[in-house]
Amino acid sequence: MRIDSHQHFWKYDPVKDAWITDEMAVIKNDFMPEDVYPLMQTNGITGCIAVQADQSEAETHFLLELAEQHDFIRGVVGWVDFRAANIAERLAYFSQWKTLKGFRHIVQAEPQDDFLLREDFCQGIALLSKYGFTYDILIYPKHLPHALTFVKRFPEQQFIIDHLAKPLIKAQHISRWLEDIRPFAKLEQVSCKMAGLVTEGDWANWKMTDFKPYVNAVLDIFGTDRVIFGSDWPVCLTGASYTQTCEILEKNTTHLSGEEKEKLWGGNCARVYNCQ
């Protein structure tokens, strides 16, 4: 069983999707489930998790509708405003969809480095466990110390760090990131997505070996029970094809056993997101 834990779908809108810069022109297009499914099949991947890219409840409904139309979308990570006064009502409302597995907020775009520690935000996060929802942490390396404090507040909550917290792979800066992500080793409720590697690399000149130190570090810190494959398609297309994205992980994890690879490629995703 292989599950891609991190895919995005959108109908491109230059206003809504203003985060897509001219350097990322290759993804200034519509990307829908029917576009990725053949690529998944080629790489032996049978299911995926659709993750929000826009901060609106409309986005959550859009992804839920796609999941209803396509069986291979095994789960959705949507968006809801955790700071809203009616957050309890909104979470109760969204709990009716079994394909909705969790939520995410684009913390990396917030002006406050300690946004995760806002009291109103944390009050919303505290309600997630009631419904068994996960929370994906989307941050940059500078946010890791705040994220560590954040997850410690919620020992019963399932967290997933997206994209290894986006280390500076292109510049091959690893020491500070490694120092700040290592403490998560002891926090069993935190997993890490092995996704977005090529997005943080040198899009035009990356080599397989560029990613090895980061792959090894994450496996060492989180262990093979808490690391999850994700393609970050279509964002990955800025630097690599879907197949190349899969090859990056395959060629940098040849030392793992068959059982460990099964966990990395699908088993851990199925467990963390409660999907099959």
Please report the pLDDT score of residue 272 as a whole number: 98
Mean pLDDT of 97-126: 98
pLDDT in tens, 2-33: 999 999 999 999 999 999 999 999 999 999 99
Q: How far apart are alpha carbons 261 and 267 in whole angstroms?
A: 9
Mean pLDDT of 68-77: 98
Output the six-digit token pair for 129.
């466990």
Complete DSSP assignment for 162-219? GGGG--BTTTTB-HHHHHHHGGGGG-TTEEEEE--TGGGS-TTT--GGGSHHHHHHHH
Mean pLDDT of 241-262: 97
Please report the pLDDT score of residue 237 as a whole number: 98
Asked if residue 276 has pLDDT above 80, the reply is no
pTM beyond 0.95: yes
Mean pLDDT of the chain: 97
pLDDT in tens, 35-47: 999 999 999 999 9
Task: Provide the angle, in degrees to the nearest 10, between the axes of the packed helices 33-42 and 242-251.
Answer: 40
Q: How many residues does the chain have?
A: 276
Asked if residue 1 has pLDDT above 80, the reply is yes
In angstroms, how far apart are the furthest CA atoms of the chain? 49
Give residue limits of the domains in the chain: 3-272
pLDDT in tens, 175-192: 999 999 999 999 999 999
pLDDT in tens, 199-235: 999 999 999 999 999 999 999 999 999 999 999 999 9
% pLDDT > 70, the chain: 100
CATH of domain 3-272: 3.20.20.140
Q: How confident is the model at residue 145 (pLDDT cuts 50, 70, 90)?
A: very high
